[in-house]
Amino acid sequence: MDFTIPSHVQEIARRVRDFVEAEVIPAEQVVRHSPAGITDELLRDLRQKAKTARLWAPQLPVELGGLGLSLAEIVPVFEAAGRSLLGAPALNCAAPDEGNMHLLHLFANEAQRETYLRPLASGAIRSGFAMTEPPPGAGSDPTMLRTRAESDGDDWIINGHKWWTSGANGAAFLLIMARTDPDLPASKGSTIFLSPIDAPGIEIVRDIPHMGGSAIGGHGEIKFHDLRLPSSAVLGKLGEGFALTQARLGPARLTHCMRWTGIAQRALEIATQYAVEREAFGKRLADHQSIQWMLADSQTELHMGRLLIHHAAWLLEQGSQARQETSMAKVFVAETVNRVIDRAIQICGGLGISRDLPLSEWYEAARAFRIYDGASEVHRMVIARQVVKAYGGAKS
């Protein structure tokens, strides 16, 4: 494995970082003091600036208006975008749209590409992914899927209940996971459907309040009441829903890791700058061993996380499913990000917990990273299964 980052990727990452510093981070103050959070007008303005700077959608192919970078190539680029929670939305590489575009690019037919993918790629619309359900439905165990789609001639009738549908507020369409064959396990009898969000039978119950404040599009609770969709709404083939989801979630877990590494790196920089400038007990904080060890641990763990991300991305590009490697990256990076931000707050003390710095906001938002796209415990279970499979029969 070659760890060299190609020069053209280094240049794009540098330009993205400069763009985030010059255009996106100043917008954070506007959002922070706005009761409505980021407005559609502000997002449109940032996106137009990103397009003008030729930084739009680094992960998309050129024919869809992107920069055509591979999964391995976007690692430093997404980290640079992720230095602000507004960076990835500005470049159109934020969840859930980024993962949905990846899925549509792989499996959508031509009609679906024109209706959904191209407008999404251009930034004209947004999307949502409706899979997670409230208890007793699918959560960490997706095989508990309860939403049903029943055949009615050439149509499908969907009934069910979803929540944590990221991006639902303001989305133009949804990707809906539903069971289409109740006689098969959910892993083999489920299908993804594409639906306009204003279709009759879709009830947006609420935008779920949660720690970390509101994200673009929120996280919707949705009910489906006899939602009628044509067979042309099926993405891929019947019964392939879980296979398609795996094709989406593997890379998506890594892109979350890339973006959050950007936030954690910025948190480390803020803490280091404060430690250099602040004096206590007769010397700079940076000269106290307890502070030095926190900085060293954060730097070390961020480096380790980057290596895990690079390796998993490389394996996926080689055609491997890399389930163990993506799980290891997700667990380690999610927990590293939480530790790095926590240490940064501790170093900055009273200033760290104030809203004068963004650290406390990131601290709240980052906590969810250990849960979404697979809780740390679930990924540890995946890793452990591979360990047992590999070594369980070995004799000492």
Per cent of the chain over pLDDT 90 is: 92
Residue 93 has pLDDT above 70, yes or no: yes
3-state secondary structure labels for all residues of 63-95 = HHCCCCCCCCCHHHHHHHHCCCCCHHHHHCCCC
Residue 45 has pLDDT above 70, yes or no: yes
Are 80 and 200 in a shared domain? no
Residue 213 has pLDDT above 80, yes or no: no
| Tokens 């993804």 belong to residue | 192
Residue 300 falls inside a structural domain: yes
What is the rounded average pLDDT of the residues 114-127? 98
Indicate the residue among 239, 256, 291 that finishes a domain.
Answer: 239
- H or E element at residue 317: helix 289-317
Are 75 and 135 in a shared domain? no
Q: What are 305's two structure tokens?
A: 């996380």
Per cent of the chain over pLDDT 70 is: 99
Query: Which pLDDT score is estimated for 99?
Result: 95
Query: Which pLDDT score is estimated for 214?
Result: 72
Distance between CA atoms of residues 96 and 98, nearest Å: 6
Distance between CA atoms of residues 296 and 371, nearest Å: 26
Are 247 and 234 in a shared domain? no
Taking the mean position of all CA atoms in its chain, how far away is CA 257? 8
What is the rounded average pLDDT of the residues 99-113? 97
Q: For the domain that residue 64 is a member of, what is the CATH number?
A: 1.10.540.10
| Pair type for strands 283-284 and 279-280 | antiparallel
Residue-wise pLDDT tens digits, 164-183: 999 999 999 999 999 999 99
| Tokens 């992914």 belong to residue | 129
Are 231 and 248 in a shared domain? no
Roughly what angle, to the nearest 10 degrees, separates helices 97-107 and 241-277? 150
Distance between CA atoms of residues 201 and 149, nearest Å: 13
The answer to whether 56 and 15 have CB atoms below 8 angstroms apart is no
Residue 43 has pLDDT above 70, yes or no: yes
Taking the mean position of all CA atoms in its chain, how far away is CA 49? 22
Query: Which pLDDT score is estimated for 35?
Result: 74
What is the rounded average pLDDT of the residues 91-98? 97
Handedness of CA 334, 336, 341, 343 (dihedral sign): positive
> Quick one: 386 exposed, middle or buried, by C-beta within 10 A (0-12, 13-18, 19+)?
middle
281-to-77, 193, 205, 295, 331 alpha-carbon distances in Å: 41, 62, 55, 19, 38
Query: Which pLDDT score is estimated for 395?
Result: 56
Question: What is the full DSSP assignment across 320-353?
Answer: ---HHHHHHHHHHHHHHHHHHHHHHHHHHHHHHH
Are 165 and 257 in a shared domain? no
Residue 396 has pLDDT above 60, yes or no: no
Instruction: Give 34's pLDDT tier (boundaries 50, 70, 90).
Output: confident
Are 297 and 373 in a shared domain? yes
Residue 380 falls inside a structural domain: yes
Residue-wise pLDDT tens digits, 357-389: 999 999 999 999 999 999 999 999 999 999 999
Residue 286 falls inside a structural domain: yes
Backbone angles phi, psi at 151, to 5 degrees: -70, 135
pTM over 0.85: yes
Are 202 and 229 in a shared domain? yes
- Number of independent structural domains in the chain: 3
Lowest-confidence pick of 72-76, 149-153, 155-159, 246-250: 246-250
Domain around 30: 7-94
Indicate the residue among 94, 110, 140 that finishes a domain.
Answer: 94
